[in-house]
Structure 1
Amino acid sequence: MSTDVDMQWLNQPVKAICQQSAQAAAQHQTQLTKPLGALGELETVAVRLAGMQNRVKPEINRVQLSVFAADHGIAASDVSAYPQEVTSQMVMNFAFGGAAVSVLARHLQAAFEVVNLGTLTALPAHEAVVSRVIAAGTRDFSSEAAMSSAQLCQALAVGCERVDACAENHPDLFIAGEMGIGNTSAASAIAAALLQLPAVQLVGPGTGLDTERVVLKAARIQQALDFHALCADQPLEILRCVGGFEIAAMTGAYIRAAQQGIPVLIDGFISSAAAMVAVAFKPEVRGWLLYGHCSEEPAHRLLLDHLGGTPLLSLGMRLGEGSGAALAVDILRSACRLHAEMATFADAGVSDKTPEA
């Protein structure tokens, strides 16, 4: 890819998970006053976080939540229940603290920001909005590439930049949210190309399309897949041709967080599509990903299975914004507190299970 943006950061290695800390945490779990495995996934995530944070008793205190926003040219093809001006309107709603994820971030005491990569409707300057405008949205990927190589590099670099900015505060967890009318279409196209499956298996109602319009949406995305003839082993080319600026920024953020050694909590369908690109490009990223919830978007389970992810919640949500991941933060915090604060059998004077003869 030819561009003026320095992309050497993409070649940097992903930080290694500390297996010694993970093993010590797993051993600690065997000593707690409960049957081994009785806390299910809470035990698994505590041990995984121990390896990520290189400490036997991990913590989730400082959370960074960055929402990336951009418009999509494909939205002009009637693939969404909402008009494109909603993207810019929601960016300002984030800025003023009125969106669902804004409320959740506030109560988590998370560091929160919204990053504008390019909306069809220009936005006024606002101190709560980080302006990184590339263009007024992507092009219609059903008939041309969504973005140029230079634009893809810019969007990836924005994700890298935002992780580097928050890394100075040593976050324990990074969450990327998204906003962009038409972005379930982009995510479906990305996933279909990576999995080499027909669009109809990946397309859902998104913002609330009826059955007839879902069929039309799938047909338009299949048209795009046939037009671009994308190969699964070229994840960044897939992202360039059928992705979105905000999805590319999330991809860059996931890669950079793994390079910086910051655990990532993935949100829903669109975030998972970005995670698929990141893992396809740099497989070691997979070890740094946790999964907040299973979305109501029908194909999300397929994406989670591909990523090998176990979602912490399943609440029938399909909002995006990072909201499902934000709700799961308290689950992670509880997992860490149970791991760190429960008494051991020796501490409590409780008999362990009878040794096998």
Structure 2
Amino acid sequence: MEKIVIPALDEDRAQEVRRGWQTVNKFGKDLGKLEEMVVQYAAMTGAELPQKLRSAMVLMCGDHGIAKYGVSAYPQEVTRQMINGYMRETAGATVLARHARADVYVCDVGTAFDLSDLDRVYHKKVAWGTNDFTQGPAMSREQAEAALQVGIEMADMCIDKGYNLLYTGEMGIGNTTSTAAIASAFMGLDPLLTVGRGSGINDERMKIKRQVVIDGLAQNKPVEGDAMDVLCKVGGYDHAGLAGVIIGAARRRVPTMVDGVNATAAALLAYGLYPESRDYMLCSHLSSDISHKKMLEIMRLTPIVDAGMRLGEGTGASLAIVVLQAALDVYNTLSR
């Protein structure tokens, strides 16, 4: 995969917007985080602030070989069922995306199902799901690079269409198990500190899920802090695709609103591969999954919303985009 160059933030533009807020708020920081969000957006884009956000959710779908162990409350077939729901626009993710006035692009980067009958899906399948990482690496380096490239291409496509904000969504039964393994491997944490209940599993499944992560780490011995090694050994194609989206958008000075725990694991991989990509991330919300806060801390990202959500699929990011648009509306109106 070719080396990506990510530009520095435009600090001059950021200072201009800070001065604008000082003019608006005579008593200083009246709007708290909303002000800083607008400053960050200006620094990322280096351009005049838009009147309206034009947002695209890039929803990456991939299946996980470890799903067969019963680590989720749902069978793997639900991956296809949910994708079908996205196409009908009846899933919670698409309802909230409509509320945020965002368009949704669903990409099959590695599901275990034939989705050729769904013509609105972007068919970019690298493999039919990952390998069982308790028995060896989840994917080869070539497959990981191909999935990253899919994400970069999806980001380019959306930006070429005129979108000025991308956000992350994902679907794949078993992905919170892979996320926990990514978090443990990258940050050197005990699985007790990263394995959460994901889809709302009971205590019995929780024991299985934790053991799967323990076994996967023991089998593969991923190198702490080495994003590519971690991705290949315990990651998912959904994670790789989203990491590519973040990197591809950062290359073109377009911010990405990062969703919940799975998307944040993808962001952590993007950060590990290209630390500068962190400068182009906005954190949408704080997931109730236990590893989320730890991943945000290492990237120094602050959530906009804390609503106890754990659904993923871009739902928290849809809410945060509404907040960001409100902040832009205030600045654009009052600064005039």
Q: Structure 1-normalised TM-score? A: 0.91
Aligned-CA RMSD value = 1.4
Match of residue 353 from structure 1:
none
Q: Mind listing any 5+ residue stretches in structure 1 that lack a counterpart? A: 1-6, 345-357
**Aligned residue identity for 1:108:** A
* 3-state secondary structure, aligned to 1:174: strand
Instruction: Encode CA deviations 1:196-225: one digit per residue, 9 max, x unaligned.
Output: 011111000000111232122112101111
Distance apart, 1:38 and its partner CA: 1.6
Distance apart, 1:120 and its partner CA: 2.3
Distance apart, 1:58 and its partner CA: 4.6
The aligned runs of 1:224-263 (5 Å cut-off) are: 224-263=216-255
Q: Distance in 2 between matches of 1:169 and 1:123?
A: 24
Match of residue 130 from structure 2:
138
Q: Structure 2-normalised TM-score? A: 0.96
Distance apart, 1:12 and its partner CA: 2.2
Q: Distance in 1 between matches of 2:84 and 2:194?
A: 30
Match of residue 76 from structure 1:
68
Q: Distance in 2 between matches of 1:317 and 1:35?
A: 34
* 3-state secondary structure, aligned to 2:251: helix
- Cα distance, 1:49–1:60 mapped onto 2, change above 3 Å: farther
Match of residue 55 from structure 1:
47
* 3-state secondary structure, aligned to 1:284: helix
Q: Mind listing any 5+ residue stretches in structure 2 that lack a counterpart? A: none
Instruction: Encode CA deviations 1:3-25: one digit per residue, 9 max, x unaligned.
Output: xxxx11xx121022111100111
Across the two proteins, how many residue pairs are aligned to each other? 336
Answer whether contact 2:11 2:43 (CA < 8 A) is retained: yes
**Aligned residue identity for 1:233:** G
* 3-state secondary structure, aligned to 2:58: strand
| Identity across the alignment (%) | 35
Distance apart, 1:29 and its partner CA: 1.0
Match of residue 15 from structure 2:
23
**Aligned residue identity for 2:32:** G
Match of residue 183 from structure 2:
191
262, 275, 278: which is aligned to 1:270? 262
**Aligned residue identity for 1:280:** G
Match of residue 120 from structure 1:
112
Distance apart, 1:128 and its partner CA: 1.5
Distance apart, 1:56 and its partner CA: 5.2
Answer whether contact 1:49 1:58 (CA < 8 A) is retained: no
Q: Does 1:153 align with 2:145?
A: yes
Match of residue 349 from structure 1:
none
Instruction: Encode CA deviations 1:61-105: one digit per residue, 9 max, x unaligned.
Output: 210111110110010111111000000111111111111111122
**Aligned residue identity for 1:297:** D
* 3-state secondary structure, aligned to 2:286: coil
Q: Distance in 1 between matches of 2:194 and 2:60?
A: 23
Q: Distance in 2 between matches of 1:36 and 1:56?
A: 22
Match of residue 285 from structure 1:
277
326, 330, 333: which is aligned to 2:322? 330
Distance apart, 1:135 and its partner CA: 1.9
Q: Distance in 1 between matches of 2:112 and 2:270?
A: 27
Distance apart, 1:37 and its partner CA: 1.2
Greater radius of gyration (CA): 1
Distance apart, 1:236 and its partner CA: 0.8
The more displaced of 277-286 and 215-224 is 215-224
